[in-house]
Structures are given as structure tokens and as C-alpha cells.
Amino acid sequence: MRTGQTHLFIPGPTNVPEAVRQSMNVPMQDMRAPDFGDLTLGLFRDLKEVLRTETGEVMIFPGSGTAAWEAAITNTLNPGDRVLMSRTGQFSTLWVEMAERLGLEVEVIDLPWGAVVPVKEYARRLGNDKYDEIKAVFVTHNETATGVTSDVAAVRRVMDECFHDALLFVDGVSSIGSIEFRMDDWGVDLAVTGSQKGLMLPAGLGILGISQKALEASKTATMRRAYFEFSDMRALNADGYFPYTPPTQLFHGLRKSLDRILREEGLDTVIARHHRLAEGVRRGIAAWGLDLVAEHHTLFSDTVSAIRVPTDVDAREVLRIAYKEYNTSFGSGLARLAGKVFRIGHLGDMNEGMCLTALSIAEMSLLRAGVPLQLGSGVGAAQSYFAFDGQIAPAMRVAAE
């Protein structure tokens, strides 16, 4: 029998705050009622603020971030269009697979898992594309499988330097609402996210930010779509309605979540909090003597840390011990990283105490799985950072002197 709280430290779905959960406990309501727009129109407006766009539009599709991926592609591209993508982890790999299955000609750059989106190679290929045959450039902003954050602004710069007219697609599923994201400033045409990460909701909403350029492309795009048709959504969204039955309870949760992010805490503070918590977790991991998958410290994600275990240890055993013995879920290593990596998600409704709990349980699980480490080392390193902002604690300073 399990007692006490079950701990969730995966990079999504994330913990749902109690106030958000309670806000969804409402009776069913008429989604065609004359006042339904009182709920939904404000959601579109505030999601634009989260995306930091004034000129773009927002659509909310019942589904996951993957649904928003498909909506973005099918509404703006044509069968046979050439697109530029890179594979640096599981989710960028899945995006490539979707593009291929939808009939696009995908020019793929393969890199080690742990690498960043290759800005210089993008620049070279775009510069050689004299006739703008590449119709779209894809960037996974935060590769959830490897804990790597790529520089979207740098990709936009090289596109502009090449005077290239391709659309810029960005997967922001595990970054938007948690890591700095600026749709307008970075010239993003399609920004994809979902409800179950930084927005602190159950899975079920695929959210898409769409530039005016992308909306114009949707008027002539010939790829087949029905459920994901932009024009149907725009026609009804203008008054706060949807072309099919929407998940109203999730909208109430989204209302509360957006209020927390934008008004109670503030988006800049949310982003700064994620960086602080992530850095504390990273200090703890370093104290264990373990490495992250990310190739360089400048690439570290502020929403998830992917931790390599020693070669003689199976990371799946770490996960098993944490789950069975300590009522705790960590993220597993995905695809080629299975058994080699486990992940700590530190995004959404998180604080210092929760991060210290994650590190404490991870330490016990690692030790039980055969990783030689000093219990308390990672927790102590994170505590020092959280308590003294990375400075040496007074007692430790006296001892050192």
C-alpha cells in the first residue's frame, strides 16, 4: 500500500496546481450559448501575451502538441514541398517522421543526441538555396528527450541574412510558458505548444501561434486537412466559438493557469524561477559526478535535465526503484537513450522544496541501483545554491578559512 504523496518529476504532463484543478470542477455548459465568448476570447488574448506576439493569432485545438504540429504543417505547406529539419533527439525525430508521412520532401541534418540545432549548417544550406526551394525551416526549441535548448533567434538571423522567404516553424511544447520565447521578435511563423507542460494543465489542448505570413500561406496551401482547417477555426474563433465541441473544462483550467502566470506571478518572474530551479538541480547533479546529455553548459534546458548514468548501471533500474520504493516518477530515457539516461522535469508548478525532494529521491535510487555517490551531496549542493544564490554558505566559509 502506498501512503503519502506520489511525486511527479517528469517533463510532462506536469503537476496541476490545486487551484487550477478546482477551477475545472464546473458543470457542463452550452458551448453555443451567447456568452461563451466571455470565457474563450480572453484565452486567445492572454495566450498571445505568453507567446509574446501582437501581430499573430492563436488557435486552440482539442488534442496534444502533436495535433498542433499537424495543424501547422497541413495548413501552410503543399505535398512535395522541401523543408529543412534537424534530428537532435526523440521529439525532433518524431517531427521529421510526421513531415515525411504527410508527403513533404525533408532535408534532414542528423546530429548526436545532445547537440543543438545547427545554426551554421542551416545558414549554409539556406545560402545555397538560390531559388527558395526550401519552403519551411523547423526548429525544436527545447528538445525534451535530451534537455537541450536551441537558439531560435539565431536561426531567424541566418534566414534574414540569406534573404530567405521560408516559414519558420518552432516546437515550443516544453519551452513556451517556462523559457524565454518571443514569437514576434524572433520572426516565428508557427509556434507549437500544448497544455500539459508550462501551462500546468492536463493534456488535451494543442496550442498554435500563427503569424500573418503563415495565415496568408494557409489560403493557398493544398495539403489535405479537415479537422485542423484554419479557415473554419478563424471563422468561429472571432466570436469565441469552435467548429466542433471544445473541452470546456480545460478552458476554465487554462483561464486560472493564465491568471497565475501573467498576473499573480508574472511571465518574466516565471521564466526567472525556472532558471533558478534548474540551476539548483544542475548543481546537485554535478555534485554526484554525473553528466548531462547536453553537449555544453550553454545548451542546458531550464525545464528538464537528462542525466547520464554510469555505463555499468541501467537507468531503468533507477526509475523502477524510484517508482516502486519511493512513489516517485522521473522521466525515462527515450529511444536510443533508453537505459542510459533518466530525466528530472523541473517545470510548471515547481519550487525549491520540490526540486530538493526530486534530488533526494534520485540520490537514494541511484545508490540503490549501484551508482557510487555520497548521500546528501546533491541535495546539499542545491540547498547551498537556493539558500545563498550560489555563494559559499557562511558556515562553509569559516571552515574553509
288-345 residue pLDDT tens: 999 999 999 999 999 999 999 999 999 999 999 999 999 999 999 999 999 999 999 9
Q: Taking residues 271-278, report their average pLDDT.
A: 98
Q: Is 347 helix (H, G, I), strand (E, B) or coil?
A: coil
Omega before residue 13 within 30° of 0, cis: yes
Measured between alpha carbons, how far is residue 359 from residues 66, 68, 314 in Å?
30, 33, 18
Is residue 390 scored above 60 in pLDDT?
no
Confidence class for position 400, pLDDT limits 50, 70, 90: very low
Cα 204–chain centre separation: 15
C-alpha cell at 121: 549548417
CATH 3.90.1150.10 residue ranges of the chain are 7-12+266-400
Measured between alpha carbons, how far is residue 386 from residues 123, 291, 305, 332, 398 in Å?
40, 21, 17, 26, 19
- Please report the pLDDT score of residue 399 as a whole number: 47
Confidence class for position 53, pLDDT limits 50, 70, 90: very high
CATH 3.40.640.10 residue ranges of the chain are 18-264
The domain defined by 7-12+266-400 carries CATH number 3.90.1150.10? yes
Residue 6, H or E segment: none
Give me the amino acid identity at 250.
L
Q: Is 123 helix (H, G, I), strand (E, B) or coil?
A: helix
Q: What CATH number belongs to 18-264?
A: 3.40.640.10
Is residue 140 scored above 80 in pLDDT?
yes
pLDDT > 90 fraction of the chain, expressed in percent and rounded:
95
